[in-house]
Amino acid sequence: METAEIARRFLNFFEKNGHTVVPSASLVAEDPTLLLVPAGMVPFKPYFLGQRTPPWETATSVQKCIRTIDIEEVGKTSRHATFFQMMGNFSFGDYFKEKAIPLAWELVTSPVEEGGFGIDPEKLWVTVYLDDDEAAAIWRDKVGVRPERIQRMGMDENYWDMGVPGPCGPCSEIFYDRGPEYGVEGGPEADENRYVEIWNLVFMQYERGEGVGKDYPILGDLPQQNIDTGLGLERLAAVLQGVDNIYETDIIGRVLHRAAELTGTRYGDDPEQDVMLRVVADHVRSAVMLVGDGVKPGNEKAGYVLRRLLRRSVRNLRLLSGTDTAFLHELTAVSIDAMKDIYPDLADKAEIIHGVIDTEEQNFANTLRAGTALFGRAAERTKESGGSVFSGADAFQLHDTYGFPIDLTLEMAQEQGLSVDEGAFRDLMERQRQTAKADAKAKKLGNADLSLYSQMHEKAGDTDFLGYSDAESESHIRGLVVDGEGVPAARAGQKVELVLDRTPFYAESGGQLADTGTLTVDGRGTVDVEDVQKPVPGLFVHRGTVRSGEVVLDDTVHASIDTGRRRAIERSHSATHLIHSALRNSLGPSAGQAGSENRPGQLRFDFTADSQVGPERLAEVEEEVNSVLSGDIEVRTQERDLDEALKMGALAMFGEKYGDRVRVVEMSDYSVELCGGTHVGSTAKLGIVKLLGESSIGSGVRRVEAAVGADAFQRLSKESALVGQLSEQLKTPREELPERIDSMVTRLRAAEKEIEKLRADQVLQAAGTLAAGARRHGDAKVVAERAPEGASADDLRTLVLDVRGRLGAEDPVVVAMTSVPKDRPVVVVATNEAARTAGVKAGDLVGVAARALGGGGGGKPDIAQGGGKDAGKVDEALRAVEAAVAAS
């Protein structure tokens, strides 16, 4: 039975049994405590926690999931996978054990021709929690499972909780017996390799308290008893398709066998190669699903997970094939084709998915070349010094400069017989994260506890947004929050968050910044609104400061937005749509939106692109946008069903979540997009759009910035004045300025090169004098001097080698010299072969000098370089080298 058919049968069975079929949520979790969705119940978590009222009493879904905690085990076992699909049925107080257990058994054992999975009951075992006599009785008496096939297990195996205080309860699991060739008899408690868990039924009935692991108190019963089940689609597919593991099932197996063909290997010939092929198959499929849900490769959060998966895939493919051939495009196509029966939208997004993955593969090829060279030098340095631990600082540099995931560095180090100082690496990463934290944290609601807002939403319902048509409204205060606590009133000077029943204020979303303005209670108080956010869908939270008087819960307030600011933002937002269309016309449909920000008078627009967009093409985009807006096209908005909007060609922002009804913004047929933001009435109101520049903000993602309206005019006015000044100073007509400036820059660079050559020649002329002044320390000839003034680090290295060469090869020779470029002392030490034979090594001597300078350094035994902070200790450093040579 194919995987897609298994999923269809599951949903059909529970739909026939009264459950609402709920589509899979995005892999990118809405839950602020999670990065990606790791389990099928996650989208239903607010209902189980009582934060929201479920729109249905029972539901069923096939949920996309990603787990990276066991990424190192992927491919090594028959069960571990990064991406997997969890089929589940859920009850929110409707039914409990007495119905959940028989339903599961019926579906698993019913004949295929009757819509079931047709598994022989004699192949099945079940487990229950130690003291769950009720579940055991249902399995035995109502379902008919023989008592010896029912096993009781403890907290670790058969008790579920979320890891934090909240809902919990016992589990009951169904296991499939793969046969004696896979292990010993005796049921799941005897051998979980032979007896594979396929379905977990969670009976969510208690509330747990604080504790560590499974050591926590049970506080009491939940208000209602809930059901949460999980049946692994890939695991069941392996059982029904009669294969050894999930990698050999119809979907993952297609990717695996194509990877084997492309790399010239054969699955099953070599255990080590088999693991690599399974890693590739799993990771490519995972990457396709992540990109399909709008994730882009990056160095943080979900983007880092995606980058890590793709780079592990590339590295394994290179090891398998022994070449640097790019294979991911072909494997991506196979994965999309294999998964499209379950997720038809993948075919529609194929071009974008290919663009993102192809770009990351190319970028990583460049990264591997540069980073591998750096790794090789650092590994060689470690071994030469007698060490076996690759430094955390080098691992951090590989990550920070070359984008090497730490697990890739670990793998490469292991191949060299080295370990990695992961503790030092983590410390440097944490230090960087702390340094890079933006002050936006104070503004956004981020990872705040959402329970208070959820309770307000339960009580007040959705906020009615009036801002598409109104700039003012009379509203009622339905919630007040000060310092994270609900309060009855807020007074002058206090920071406050307000929930209104209706509002003209736009809450920041879709790249459009929030409105600002005022809330006024007649004769009693005024609030300056500085920001508006939606911490839970449908709830607008107005954040600001009570300027005067006080505001009280249930007050009637006059809400008024800053209309000048709103109009300026609308111009920017409408300009963003035009720029998006112009870029797609110029670069093709792969130039998909990857983010935006619309602020008064200015905008930034992020889009996917393989390479830099040159000045000429940017000028064409700018010209096209301005020609369109000058045509005074009407901007129309209308609500439509999502499917209808997509059929009419409306562009959806990649990775954005949409409801069944969507808002379509049209500028004739030039731009048609799904958008919840506010816009101008016609394009002529934009005035003018000026592109300010283009840059890279990440792998495969570019950014353009632009000024709109009065801001654009001011920019152009300043540029015109600047060009006028240059024209006057250089006595050159405006149109000839580029050639004149280019000529000046060329002459200046040539002069700088000539000066640099003369200075280097002057430094090297000192080599003879320095060699003649060598001093004897025992058998060794030693030169320990300052280099001539102005010597760079490169000059210093060349000079030291020249002096060493002049001193001959018969006697041991040590040359140590210093310079102070840019107020930072540098020291270079060189030794000849005779010195090294006598045990005198440059790397050791440079360490002596660098420590005197308050720094560090290292290198090979023949030449080494170091530096420090204290330029006043240069002579002391040189004398320290001489003393070390004399003592050797």
675 known ligand binder: yes
Q: Consult the annotation and say whether 558 binds a ligand.
A: no
Query: Is the Cβ–Cβ distance between 117 and 1 less than 8 Å?
Result: yes
Distance between CA atoms of 408 and 158, rounded to whole angstroms? 36
Q: Is the dihedral of CA 188, 191, 192, 196 positive or negative?
A: negative
Residue type, 434: Q
- CA separation for the pair 66, 237 (Å, rounded): 18
Q: Are 850 and 868 in contact (CB under 8 A)?
A: yes
Residue type, 127: T
Block residue for tokens 């007509």: 733
Token readout for 590 is 């792969």
Is residue 220 helix, strand or coil? strand
In sequence order, the β-bridge partners of residue 777 are: 780
The first and second tokens of residue 380, run together, are 């060689």
| Beta carbons within 8 Å of 439's beta carbon, 6+ residues apart | none
> What would the DSSP string read from start to end of 270-290?
-HHHHHHHHHHHHHHHHHHHH
- Dihedral sign, CA of 625, 705, 592, 370? positive
Rounded Cα distance, 234 and 3, in Å: 7
Q: What residues contact residue 612 under an 8 Å CB cut-off, 6+ apart?
A: 694, 696, 702
Contact 80, 70 (CB under 8 A): yes
The pair phi, psi for residue 631, each rounded to 5°, is -80, 0
- Provide φ and ψ at 203, rounded to 5°: -100, 95
DSSP assignment letter at 590: T
Residue 487's Cβ-count burial label (10 Å; 0-12, 13-18, 19+) is middle
Cβ-count burial of 215 within 10 angstroms (0-12 exposed, 13-18 middle, 19+ buried)?
exposed
- Does the annotation flag 679 for ligand binding? yes
Residue positions counted in the chain: 888
Q: How far apart are CA 90 and CA 226, in angstroms?
A: 7
- Element of type H or E holding 569: helix 563-587
Q: Is there a contact between 678 and 468 (Cβ–Cβ < 8 Å)? A: yes
The encoded tokens of residue 664 equal: 């379509």
Q: Is-contact 520 526, C-beta < 8 A?
A: yes
Residue of 887, 779, 871 lying closest to 819 (CA atoms): 871
Judge whether 168 is annotated as a binding position: no
Check: CB of residue 608 under 8 Å from CB of residue 700.
yes
Other CB atoms within 10 Å distance of the CB of residue 478: 19
**What is the C-alpha R_g of the chain?**
34
Q: How far apart are the first and last CA of the chain?
A: 77
Q: In 3D, which of 89, 71, 90, 91 has the Cα closest to residue 81? A: 71
Q: CA torsion 588→589→591→596, rounded to 10°?
A: 130
* Residue bearing tokens 């959940």: 100
CA 806 to chain centre: 56
Which residue in this structure is represented by tokens 């939208």?
345
DSSP 121: G
Please state, in angstroms and rounded to a whole number, the distance separating the CA atoms of residues 530 and 146: 66
Tokens of 248: 């050999």
Rounded-to-integer distance, Cα 145 and Cα 123, Å = 11
Helices H, strands E: what count in the chain? Answer: 27, 34
Annotated binding site for Zn(2+): 573, 577, 675, 679
Q: Which residues are annotated as a binding site?
A: 573, 577, 675, 679
